[in-house]
Amino acid sequence: MIIYTVRQGDTLYRIAGRYGVSVQSLQDDNMLPDPARLVPGQTIVIIKPQISYTTRAGDTLDSIARRFGVSLNTLWRNNPVLRGLDEITVGQELKIKLPLPTGGAVQVNGYAYPFIDRDVLRQTLPYLTYLSIFTYGYDESGTLIPIEDEEVISIAREYGVAPVLHLSSLNTEGKFSTAQVTRLLNDDAMQQTLIRSLIETLQQKGYVGVDVDFEYVGRQGADAYVRFVRRLQEALSPLGYFVWVALAPKVRADQEGVLYEGHPYRALGEAADAALLMTYEWGYTYGPAMAVSPLNQVRRVLDYAVTEIPPAKLLLGVPNYGYDWTLPYVAGESRARSLGNVEAVILARDRGADIMYDEVAQAPNFNYFLRGEDGVAREHEVWFEDARSMQAMLRLMPEYGLRGMAIWNIMRYFPQLYLVLNSEYDIMRATM
């Protein structure tokens, strides 16, 4: 795999000729919305297969997989143009085998809402080990609030991806409630009801485990939170289910703030089977313009986390989005707009902006001006992800010996994330 950064005057034709690949392959792999209009600073991922095959009359994807001794998921991962479907055309060139990945085997979890576009879901599932469906809350008795997740679970299982039940402090009003968490952690009967409700749902719907995401627990609730996670794990483990826990991105044990104080890393790491590090949202909706996951900050979290929790228990949180800020930033007033990574490149193209790359944060960014309804041109700053930033972040997994990664979230398809992931790592399959 080669990651090429577009320069002024580049065309897809010239890039293809320079690296000995077809224009169609570059366009298909990177899913370029307008291959005739490249943006200086934009990344193009170049994949050169070891074995390729041109389809003939009578071929099916299944027959090709059998002929070469590979799985359908492998063909889908190697050929994003297939979009996770069985449809092929005569004369289509397929990548059968890529160079062996050098990053080792990893588990990949993706978060999705039940209303995810089904085409995006099918396109993404070949790259996943687990699918966490966001989210189950619970009422004041501790009973789970039902969601319509049956179809998404069924599709995930078609691709051999294990569904994970995501549990949060969502209440009956659809809001995340600190009071709801506090009530649960101090009510034994409510916990018993919740655990029974979880077991019933796990069994009925075919989930393989629970991902617990209680945020803003606070210092006073920390010990009770650990006891609840341990109690849940002890109830589910004999039945064959696992328990994960999501952790705020701490850099030291005594870090202050309600988001951090309720997540004692060592104790929660011991209570759960695995832990997700929420290593994103440094750049966020209400904050100043900056990278969502600056690599230097992510490293600080990992440096601390591995001293408290065995690395083989840790999943690295990976963002799949960016933000567009209107400048100047005003605390308490400014509100950034979330946007997808493909959308960010289109925005740079349409606004005539060159894409820059911050070597410290390891993240792409650009600025542009937009005239508002009042006639005033205001500057905007955009931070997002590209193949370079994803490669830098994903390479932290073998460096720190992590179990794998968790993508927040997979609602928008980001081809370069999956091109990098598939080229450098062997994606593990789950036992179901």
What separation in angstroms does the CA of 425 have from each of 95, 101, 116, 338?
17, 5, 26, 29
Q: How confident is the model at residue 172 (pLDDT cuts 50, 70, 90)?
A: confident
Which residue do the tokens 């000995």 mark? Answer: 20
pLDDT in tens, 254-282: 999 999 999 999 999 999 999 999 999 99
Work out the percent of the chain whose per-residue pLDDT is above 70: 100
**Residues of the chain by 3-state class (helix, strand, coil), percent to 5:** 40, 25, 40
Which tokens go with 2?
């080669």
Q: How far apart are CA 131 and CA 127, in angstroms?
A: 10
Q: 176 pairs with which residues across the strands?
A: 170
Q: Which position among 87, 140, 173, 215 bears the catalytic label?
A: 215
pLDDT in tens, 137-156: 999 999 999 999 999 999 99
**Peptide bond connecting 415 to the previous residue in cis, omega within 30 degrees of 0:** no
pLDDT at 266: 98
Q: How far apart are CA 211 and CA 164, in angstroms?
A: 7
Q: What type of residue sits at position 187?
A: D
pLDDT in tens, 313-328: 999 999 999 999 999 9
pLDDT at 171: 78
pLDDT in tens, 80-92: 999 999 999 999 9
Question: Structural domains in the chain?
Answer: 2-97 (3.10.350.10), 105-325+383-427 (3.20.20.80)
DSSP 307: H
Q: How far apart are CA 200 and CA 190, in angstroms?
A: 15
- Mean model confidence pLDDT for the chain: 96
Residues in the chain: 432
Query: Catalytic: 215?
Result: yes
Q: How confident is the model at residue 348 (pLDDT cuts 50, 70, 90)?
A: very high
Does residue 427 register a pLDDT over 80?
Answer: yes
Q: How confident is the model at residue 372 (pLDDT cuts 50, 70, 90)?
A: confident
Picking from 410, 320, 351, the residue whose alpha carbon sits closest to that of residue 41 is 351
